[in-house]
Amino acid sequence: MTGATKSTTDIAVRDAIEADLPWIAEIYEHYVLASISTFDEEVPDIAEMTARFRRLTEAGFPWLVAETPAGVEGYAYAAPWRDRSAYRYAVEDSIYVAAGSVRRGIGTVLLGELIRRCEASGKRQMIAVIGGSTNVASIGLHGRLGFRVAGVLPSFGYKFGAWSDTVLMTRPLGDGEASPPEC
């Protein structure tokens, strides 16, 4: 799952399937154990990853993988922002790229397709909840794809013996707030 080139021509984005979950779990494990990109402190097992996958995909939310000849090198999904009905047009994105595959355009391709899919489904707002104000890679990726910082929650997560901020970034989808959604 490594690569040194910046080419995006060998990256295919597709719907994730349950057979991808071992790849997805391996990618996520790195972030749980070595970063504040997630505030999970224990690596979820395959049963938990399967439950998360099924819960979202069965509810109609996109879960995508980026695949190269080396295999699955990243994944992204959308989830409900909150469970109150007024938030039904807002989604939260999550995106993870294999540690050895960063800076190859995988995140850009994945997040771009996730945005497109959410727009096509009628969603109007997307929020990124980014672990750590020092997570410049995620903040930069989201910024390049039209997200703007909406706020910072100071010292909202405690991991690896230190407090970390949570950065909130938002992006309108489709018409955003310019028109009412189709009900």
Strand extents, DSSP E, 99-161: 125-131, 148-159
**Residues 56/59/61/63 CA torsion (nearest 10 deg):** 40
**Residues sharing a CB contact under 8 Å with residue 133, sequence separation 6 or more, in sequence order:** 139, 152, 164, 165, 167
- 155: alpha, beta or left, given left = phi > 0 and alpha = psi -120 to 50? left
Residue with more model confidence, 35 or 6? 35
Give me the pLDDT at residue 101, please.
86
Q: Domains plus CATH for the chain?
A: 12-172 (3.40.630.30)
pLDDT digits (tens, 9 = 90+) for 25-41: 999 999 999 999 999 99
Report the b/e string of 18-43 with b at 16+ CB within 10 A: eebbebbbebbebbbeebbbbeeeee
Question: According to the model, what pLDDT value does residue 182 have?
Answer: 81
**Do the beta carbons of residue 169 and residue 128 sit within 8 Å?**
yes
129 C-beta neighbours (distance < 10 Å), count: 15
The amino acid sitting at 171 is: R
pTM of the model: 0.93
More confident site: 15 or 103: 15
Structure confidence by residue, pLDDT tens digits, 77-125? 999 999 999 999 999 999 999 998 888 899 999 999 999 999 999 999 9
Average pLDDT taken over every residue of the chain: 94
Query: pLDDT of 62-77, one tens digit each?
Result: 999 999 999 999 999 9
